[in-house]
Structure 1
């Protein structure tokens, strides 16, 4: 049986970086991928190192 990844939200975090790069680093334009990271973090109880920044990103898109 495969072990769970130590970084279960790495793909979502990488998707955010790609989106931000394409969109002049404006988090408002990456709402969907940020919400996917948030959902991943909730699913894994924030046990991925990539979950630390999601709260700040969510604050920025709600402005």
Structure 2
């Protein structure tokens, strides 16, 4: 499983955001913690994940 994660880092964090948004009427302010976890993951992998493209927009929405 570690190989999959290296191939596509931050996938789990992105999935967690989708799940959180679905449970909370798609209100990003209700999912700040999981959005921050994705941002942290993206910073760690230097945004080398396709899942990092949306993090900037999500961060703007919840601030």
User: What TM-score results when the alignment is normalised by the length of structure 1?
Assistant: 0.92
In the other structure, the counterpart of 1:22 is 23
Count of residues paired in the alignment: 61
3-state secondary structure, aligned to 2:26? coil
Q: Provide structure 2 residue ranges, at least 5 long, that are not aligned to the other structure.
A: none
Which structure's CA Rg is the greater one? 1
Which has a greater percent of helix?
2
Q: Provide structure 1 residue ranges, at least 5 long, that are not aligned to the other structure.
A: none
RMSD (Å), alpha carbons: 1.2
Matches within 5 A, 1:50-61: 50-61=51-62
